[in-house]
Amino acid sequence: MPVKYVVTKEGEKVAVATVFDLLMAQFGVGRGLPGDYPRDYGDELPYTPAWQEKWTGIHRDTLLKYARSWAENGLKTKGKNLIIIGAGINHWYHNNLMYRAGIVALMLTGSVGVNGGGLAHYVGQEKLANQASWGPIAFATDWGYPPRQQNTPSFHYVHSDQWRYERGFSAYDKTAAGLTDHTIDHQVRAVRKGWLPFFPQFNKSPLEVVKEAEARGAKTEEEIIQYVVEALKRGELRFAVEDPDAPENWPRVWFIWRGNAIGTSAKGHEYFLKHYLGTHTNAVAEERAEGQVQEVVYRKPAPEGKLDLVVNLNFRMDTSALYSDIVLPAATWYEKDDINTTDLHTFINPLQAAVPPAWESKPDWDIFKAIAKKVSELAQVHLPNPVKDLVMIPLQHDTPDELAQAEDLDWKKGEVEPIPGKTMPKFRVVERDYTKLYEKMVTLGPVVEKAGVGMHGLTIPVEDFYKELAERQPRVFQGEKRPSLEEAREVAEAILFLDPVSNGELAYRAFLDEEKKTGVRLADLAEGNRHVRISFKDLVAQPRRQLTTPTWSAIINLGRAYSPYTLNVERLIPWRTLTGRQHFYLDHPNYLAWGEHLPTYKPRPEVFMLQETEKAAKEAQGKLLNYITPHGKWSIHSTYSENHRMMTLSRGGYPVWLNDKDAAELGIKDNDWVELFNDNGVFVQRAIVSARIPRGTVFVYHATERTVGIPKSPLRGKRAGMNNSITRARLKPVLMSGGYAQFTYAFNYWGPVGVNRDTWVFVRKLEKSPEW
Amino acid sequence: MKVRAHMSMLFHLDKCIGCHTCSIACKNLWTDRKGAEYMWWNNVETRPGTGYPTGWEDQERFKGGWEYKDGHLDLRLHSRTQGLFRLFFNPALPSLDDYYEPFTFRYSDLFTSPEGEDQPTAIPISMITGEPMTPGAGPNWDDDLSGSPLYAANDPNLKGLDPEVQAQLSEIEGVVFQYLPRICNHCLNPSCVAACPSGAIYKRAEDGVVLVNENKCKAWRMCVAACPYKKVYYNWATGKSEKCILCFPRLETGQAPACAHSCVGRIRYMGVLLYDADRIPEAAMVPDERLVESQLGIILDPFDPEVIAAAKAEGIDEGWIKAAQNSPIYKFVKVWGLAFPLHPEYRTLAMMFYVPPLSPVVSTLEKALRASQGREGLVRLDLPETDLDFEVYESLEKARMPVKYLANLFSAGNESLIVPALKKMLAVRILKRQESLEGGVTEKARKVLQDAGLTLEEAEAIYRLTTLPTLEERFVLPPYHREMAAEVWKDPLAHKGETGFGYIQPPLRGE
């Protein structure tokens, strides 16, 4: 590999190579250089077409033709190579490597940032286009409070005690550094180094922590924080994540809204039932983490029923609602005002009340207002005076926090001093007046007026628009006239009025900010649309298209379709990475430890490594099949799946799809009742036998409910489960990396994925009709 | 020449994604009531498959459609004499079990279950009896090749295919399926109309829509048996027959039928076809392989001055003639020869048309070069070194969906009609792909167009109408003159004022 040697100022001789050369060496592309390279495409060494045959089952000739077509197409069309991908890859253990493989192929053919090329990520409706204005309202930063945000996979992996049932990642992922510790050890370290958030924060209430600090003489915010840091260093104060099974560290009150959190969103559903709810469960797996963990306290027995109260805002009786203590009936999409945006289309759509909410149901905003109002009322008795809260947040993406950690050092081990915002999380002391909770919820706060709105590192001043909004929808609070957020319609108007995607003048200002950051002329992109103001009424007349703004990454003026990164490629806005470019090479120390600094191949975890079928193997007769949960045809995830129409079109249930030859071997005929089981749980439905299913797999389309047509499991004697009853969540620790450049936490951007696809189950036919 | 106008629909099967939105739109609008639970006037089938009701294409069993023997056309169901004898018992009549027993769920179980150790669930119950049941059939039971060894493998349209080809269709590396959405075909020679002893079914002259007069219907149900497509249904609660009405209330107000309008894939087109009613019988009385040709032969050129004059003489107004001239159906069916009726061998002269789907090349399974990890073989596409884009065009016999299969569906087995249509579609694709790759119309693309029998203009027109049509280009709806229809039996002003008011009298069973 071509290497140059240079001598540094300090007199050190260092080797220098280009990333491209490293990449070619990694891929085994010889280019006529001396070294241990494959001789030709037929040499079965990584990563030749011959080598890949045994992993993919695709003949080398076909692969070569495909690769050549890919290259030719990229060349001739100047980058219109397109990969359309959903979230499915996300759920496999080595998801990051799979995505990188695709992205490398796109990068090498110049297909990123091209209309008709690049990675088109088709996942649900999770893109909030108006994120800059929505953020302050959703997270209350308009009143100056840093929000507590939590990446869900970490939360559930820890609190639902799924960590206890595995030996950890080293059982199924060989790292370059030969690490043998447990996944949860990495989770704990990630929290204390400021890489990931966690809730609860400490082993005592943060309100108590501040009181203690003040009792010991701390007066200012700095002094309180100093107290906390020292208490953590001495071990007097502990992070909750270090002892998650201690009762003081359990989550207690759970509000479930806009998600089937106990149902299909619960990877490891049966563990949720056991450890969160303390109710019946079909999990029989043995705990395996004892003696394997270093950073957490291993309490015995594992606690069950940690939660005190589950409240569900829902418009239907899904599995979560069935298991909740209180259900607050919520209005559906056609019964309330709201706005909707999605990844895939550049329009903003309104939701409106075609009919008023049926029976006792209420729009979401009204439900939360009612709760806030009641809390404010009760606060007058229980928390009448303002209290000080200590908020702990991880190092944040798009802030100077990205410069915090050039090396991966652990203050707990004494490798470095604990310094908030540098080697450990950041802290802020926030004063809260619970008696004013409701008022603040329904009034747009002063921070937006003074500091503007922002995202992705940009700040946009909005003082004039704030004042105009206050005139249009006024609300007087503490003697000031501010914009009202009392009605959902008013919230929608605020979101539209104060965001660059729907306010052309703000798009222009956003580009001005980007110009300052980059030194590149950009504001011309927004000139023609400066006058545009999209209001809710406009959307009602016709959904409107978003505007081009640097808060997102595409140029979409004059009817141009959205393709990510066209702004970066055409107008030279840097990517928000260490180098400002896209990265083939990731130099975070953790990635180097994992051997994933360059794109690489790692085989999937094998079933014997996962240890989810030990007990089940003793009960089973048939073969192990890989359990796959593709996206359902007859539902939108679990929503709508259980209504009459969708049930009629899906054979009246949630069928289990088997390959016809596998089914024949197992003695299973089309529409027979079958049971899927492993140590995580059971699933009982009728089978569909089909030649289109690959051998060795069993498909259950996600997502299912337990509320409709689920019989008792003959194996466990209780109600059979749902699609996530036979899975559990595993985390890949390398994805917890933080504190450095683009490897930093941001909301909905960062953290390990809840992996649940490398799952294996036994399948058997029921001997007689099931019980109900 | 007796010129009549017909509202026709086209299904572009290359675009259908099998989402069933059309089925839901129709169901919610028209058949969401007692007695109609099992009816899907619009249904979507997976092919290969056996459809809904299962095996409906087996006319040996179901006796639908017409037979052409010894120079005359007879209902397969029975002769007039036989019909009289079988008036009260028709062995060919399908029962509810041939469709499916509709089911729902006892959702109240979730609320009313007593306190206990385990979770409740809503159990499935029959919509007919209210009793608990296990679903065993449905309107799309073999969807996406569900139960393929039982259903897809027994698709009657696989008859006559090479056994090797048939076998390949059930191997994962050769598996292919398409969707076939179906509504009533509002045929020119409807066997349902012919079979009704009461004369309760009729075909409207103004637009060809076939309807059941529920006041005349006496529940003989000969129509249910006689329709070879099984698109007339019996309402078990009212005792009357019902069927797709082509959403005539929508058509009459300038809207496309609900199924067409709701279509997510935008596969449906609506338009007027002018036809010669005088030549209907003769068009049905030719050998199988000439049926498509003869049916297309009675569809008239709306630009021909003779046709226009004859149309006007029949009272067809200018607006309808203009609509016929702009009709996307006319283009696909007559001008470009890309669309076909379903099962022309039933001889009912179906007036809804299908553009057959393209499919990729077949992959083969090679013996593993070195057995490893229990794989049965490596997947290989048999492709040339260069010009990959032309491969399917050159080797249509390698397409996954066998041409013979498509011919059995759409041209009474006559492959020579299907091949030119597929080649034209492929030629358009090649033209556009070459433009994208090479920046313009290439020599290679020109040659393919020529070979396929298309001019550049035609190719562009096909591309536009297939890929980029606006709503108005897909649905070219004629101006219905409601005032003219009304005045035949009532004063139109009185009709306007009184419609929707009066006494409601449900049809009485047995009357």
The pLDDT tens digits for A88-110 are: 788 899 999 999 999 999 999 99
- Tell me the pLDDT tens digit for each residue of A364-373: 999 999 999 9
Mean pLDDT, residues A653-680 taken together: 97
CB-CB contact of A680 with A266 (8 Å): no
Instruction: Please tell me the distance from the alpha carbon of residue A725 to that of residue A663, in angstroms, as a whole number.
Output: 22
Mean pLDDT, to the nearest integer, of A130-158? Answer: 95
Cα dist from B134 to A640, A770, B102, B119, B145, whole Å: 21, 10, 11, 20, 21
Confirm or reject contact between A708 and chain B (CB < 8 A): yes
A78 interfacial to chain B (CB closer than 8 Å): no
Bridge-based pairing of strands A624-628 and A697-699 is parallel
Contact (Cβ atoms closer than 8 angstroms) between residue B363 and residue B200: no
Measure CA A124 to chain center.
13
**Average pLDDT, integer, range B74-82:** 92
**In angstroms, rounded to a whole number, what is the distance separating the alpha carbons of residues A69 and B388?**
8
Asked if A73 has any chain B CB less than 8 Å from its own CB, the reply is yes
Contact status of A57 with chain B (Cβ, < 8 Å): yes
Which among B24, B366, B437 is the nearest to A77, CB-wise? B437
Q: Cα–Cα distance between A120 and A86 in angstroms, integer?
A: 8
Q: CA triplet B105, A270, A605: central angle to 5 degrees?
A: 115
Cα radius of gyration rounded to whole Å, chain B = 25
The predicted structure's pLDDT at residue B498? 87
Average predicted confidence (pLDDT) for chain A: 95
**Interchain contact, B175 vs A692, CB within 8 Å:** yes
> Please, which residues bridge with residue A312 across strands?
A256, A327
pLDDT tens track for A152-169: 999 999 999 999 999 988
Does the model's ipTM exceed the 0.85 cut? Answer: yes
- pLDDT the model gives residue B369: 44
Provide the pLDDT for residue A93.
94
Residues of A in contact with B136 (CB under 8 A): 671
As a whole number, the mean pLDDT across chain B is 94
- Helix or strand holding residue A25 (H, E): helix A19-27
Q: How far apart are CA B433 and CA B439, in angstroms?
A: 9
Please name which of B168, B146, B172 lies closest in space to residue A657, comparing C-alpha atoms: B146
Q: For position B147, what pLDDT does the model report?
A: 97
pLDDT for residue B500: 81
Per-residue pLDDT, B362? 81
Is the CB of residue A298 less than 8 Å from the CB of residue A292?
A: no
Q: Cα–Cα distance between A563 and A439 in angstroms, integer?
A: 41
User: 3-class SS at A255?
Assistant: strand
Q: With the C-alpha atoms ordered A113, A117, A121, A124, is the resulting torsion angle positive or negative?
A: positive
Confidence label for B372 from pLDDT (cuts 50, 70 and 90) = very low
Cα A234 from Cα A229, distance rounded (Å):
9
Which among B136, B149, B369 has the least Cβ separation from residue A689? B149
How does pLDDT run across B444-470, given as a tens digit for each residue? 999 999 999 999 999 999 999 999 999
Indicate yes or no: CB of B172 within 8 angstroms of CB of A711.
no
What is the DSSP-derived secondary structure letter of residue A606?
P
State whether residue A76 sits within 8 Å of chain B by CB.
yes
pTM: 0.95
Q: What share of chain A is helix, strand, coil (3-state, %, to 5)?
A: 35, 15, 50
A76 contact residues in B (CB cutoff 8 A): 437-438
Residues 6+ apart with CB under 8 A from A636: none
Residue A317 near chain B (CB below 8 Å) = yes
Percentage of chain B beyond pLDDT 70 is 97
Q: What's phi and psi for A662, nearest 5 deg?
A: -60, -40
Of B118, B62, B117, nearest to B93 by C-alpha is: B62
Confidence of residue A1 (pLDDT cuts 50, 70, 90): confident
For residue B379, the model assigns a pLDDT of 87
Arithmetic mean of pLDDT, B187-202: 97
A530-566 pLDDT, tens digit per residue, is 999 999 999 999 999 999 999 999 999 999 999 999 9
Q: What is the dihedral of CA A648, A654, A656, A659, to 10 degrees?
A: 40
pLDDT one-digit tens code per residue, A610-642: 899 999 999 877 789 999 999 999 998 888 899
Q: What is the pLDDT of residue A619?
A: 86
**Residue A734 to chain B, least CA–CA distance (Å):** 29
B118 and A649 within 8 Å at the Cβ level: the answer is no
Q: For residues A317-325, give the mean pLDDT.
A: 96
Task: Select from A62, A115, A344, A668 the residue whose CB has the most chain B CBs within 10 Å, as the one to mutate to test that interface.
Answer: A62
More reliable by pLDDT, B360 or A205: A205
Structural tokens at position A19: 């990333």
Nearest-by-Cβ selection for A691 from B104, B148, B383: B148
Q: Regarding predicted confidence, which is higher, A748 or A257?
A: A257
Which pair of structure tokens corresponds to residue B289?
């392989």
Q: At B376, is the pLDDT very low, low, confident or very high (cuts 50, 70, 90)?
A: low
Closest to A157 in 3D by CA, of A737, A733, A746: A733
Q: So what's the pLDDT on residue B371?
A: 44
The per-residue pLDDT for range B282-338, each reduced to its tens digit, is: 999 999 999 999 999 999 999 999 999 999 999 999 999 999 999 999 999 999 999
The confidence score (pLDDT) of residue B367 equals 59
